[in-house]
Chains A and B, each alone.
Chain A
Amino acid sequence: MRTRTGLVVGGCLLMAYAVVGALTDADLAPAGVLLFLAAVLVGHDVVWMAAVLTVGAALTRVPPRCRPAVRTAAITAAAVTVVGLPLALGFGRSADNASVLPLPYGRNLVAVLLVVAGTTLLACVVPVRRREAAADRKESERPAEGRP
């Protein structure tokens, strides 16, 4: 209990330090920070989660043997897109500095997503093929079973 109390009290003190520090930092507009905090919270809890839950509901229609692979693909695609989309949109590019965002990120993001999709497809198809091959082997072995 003492550990938990210490963590809670220490955490509250650090949060108070953050608030006082932000309010007294001449470089910082606290209103802008508050706006951004609210925007990311609402954006995540309302918009992003609605999309995630919709995709999650759609995943329940995927055959169970493929579901883990497709779920992994969906998580990976979403995460890579969060990182790659701001680069692909290219708002950070600079006219006089070619070393900033130097790659064709839109094309690269699509390529990474295609690799994820391809890997997922393989992960779904290969086990089925293997099972079929194993079944075929058993079929062909069956006549031999009765031989002396």
Chain B
Amino acid sequence: MVRHPDTPVTGRATMLRRLARWCLAPLPAPPVALRRGPLRPGVFRSRLRSTRLTGQLGVALGLMFGICFVTGLLSHLIQHPPGWFWWPARPVGLYRFTQGLHVATGLASIPLLGAKLWSVYPRLFSWPPVRSIAHAAERAGTGVLVAAALFLLVSGVLNVSRWYPAMPFFFTAGHYWVAWLAVGGLLVHIGVQLPAVRAALARPTDEPRQDGLNRRALLGGVAAASGLITLTTVGQTIRPLSGLAVLAPRHPGTGPQGLPVNRTADGAAVRAAALDPAYRLWVVGPGRRVGLDLAALYGLPQYTAELPIACVEGWSATGTWTGVRLRDLVALVGVDPRRSSALVESLQTGGRYRACTVPPEHLRDPLTLVALRLGGEPLHLDHGYPARLIAPNRPGVLQTKWISRITVPGTR
């Protein structure tokens, strides 16, 4: 049976077809008299702009944003783990790598985003501004993507330079949700521009030689800018390059006991409590609790571990920590440390990071310490004196300082 091509299709298909027709129907053009200023034809004359340049910058930027999104999402999941999420204790420096990569990639994306937006800037003034409902939606989507991409890079730069008052929102939450917005916008953009992306990746056939040379020179300039940013900042996490890190917000060797500090004892308002001679570290199990003063803590078997502090802001530095294994402390209250988690609380009375949960894989790891010493000396007050948590492969914000209490809910 041959169906007549004009046979009306009923139901959902018809509705979809009607909707598509309505979305693509041409809208009346605005009066030509409104075509002034940058809307006039031929205003943007640079011969450097080309579809191929835009496509190539877009592919590079998409890769960079992809890396940023995956590493950033990972950091978020480690800090706010849903039930299905699992993060290992080894390799020791994995988080150091992923978060260092996150910040380095974000910083290196700045010239790429700048060049990409420059290359498409004339399209902002295309005429007519809106050809159809679908065109309007596409333009609005591009606007959201551009705003979100700028938001992420600008807020990221402000965060690493700790210029928080310039951001009228809580950075971590804003950066996280806008990242989802940017990735969604990016997928829509790739979907719309896929033919142009494919053409950008294909070899050119009709590009004049001089245009090709100019395009490559511009791409080289953008790469040089990204390279210079990386060279002058990445030493904040790659120690051998720290001498070149003249624009790094942190220097791995600068800080009390040769290690940077994120939150000081005075900033956390714990000075008096931390220096109180009556200090006790309480380990609380399901059926027993133990209070340990400093002498008792030093009386327990001491272990030393070389572990990094890896900050969410992208810097990291390795310290030599000495103290009691967390699993030994948990065993004191009769809990099997191989299958238990622990809530580690600080002397801080408030604040977002006053407590953290140590999952079983970190708790049972022999490198996870309640550190009492750094580099052989008692911990500096700003590093968490009298006792702090230090565990492998964890963000710095989860290495709770000035520990007052370890609660073990029992074997899981």
Contact = CB atoms under 8 A, between A and B. Distances in A.
Interface of A: 3-8, 10-19, 21-22, 25, 27-29, 31-33, 35-38, 40-41, 44-45, 49, 52-53, 56, 68, 71-72, 75-76, 78-80, 82-84, 86-87, 89, 91-94, 96-103, 105, 108-109, 111-112, 116
A71 B217 contact: yes
Contacts of B183: 11, 14
A12 B285 CA distance: 48
A7 B145 CA distance: 14
Contacts of B154: 36, 40
Contact of B228 (A32, A38, A68, A80): A80
Interface string B157-182: 11001111111111011100111110
Given A71-B221, A105-B247, A83 B107 contact: yes
Given A22-B177, A82-B110, A36 B168 contact: yes
Interface in B238-267: 246-251, 254-256, 259-261, 264, 266-267
Contacts of B267: 94, 96-97
Contact of A27 (B161, B170, B259): B170
Q: Is the interface of B mostly helix, strand, loop or mixed?
A: helix
Contacts of B247: 80, 83-84, 87, 103, 105, 108-109, 112
B191 A25 contact: no
A60 to B, nearest CB: 9
Contacts of A98: 254-255
B217 A72 contact: yes
A5 B150 contact: no
A36 B155 contact: yes
A96 B217 contact: no
Nearest to A30: B169
A110 B254 CA distance: 22
Given A18-B181, A28-B177, A68-B220, 12 more contacts: A10-B187, A15-B188, A17-B184, A28-B174, A36-B169, A45-B146, A71-B217, A71-B218, A79-B226, A94-B162, A97-B382, A108-B246
Contact of A102 (B115, B117, B190, B254): B254
A37 B147 contact: yes
B121 interface: yes
Contact of A28 (B157, B169, B256): B169
Nearest to A76: B225
Contacts of B226: 79
B232 interface: yes
15 contacts: A4-B192, A7-B191, A8-B188, A11-B190, A15-B144, A28-B174, A41-B147, A56-B46, A72-B225, A80-B225, A80-B228, A83-B233, A91-B162, A99-B260, A103-B247
A102 B278 CA distance: 35
A6 B115 contact: no
A111 to B, nearest CB: 7
A66 B185 CA distance: 38
A96 B250 contact: no
A100 B217 CA distance: 38
A17 B178 CA distance: 10
A101 B264 contact: no
Contact of B162 (A45, A83, A101): A101
A14 B251 contact: no
Contacts of A10: 184, 187
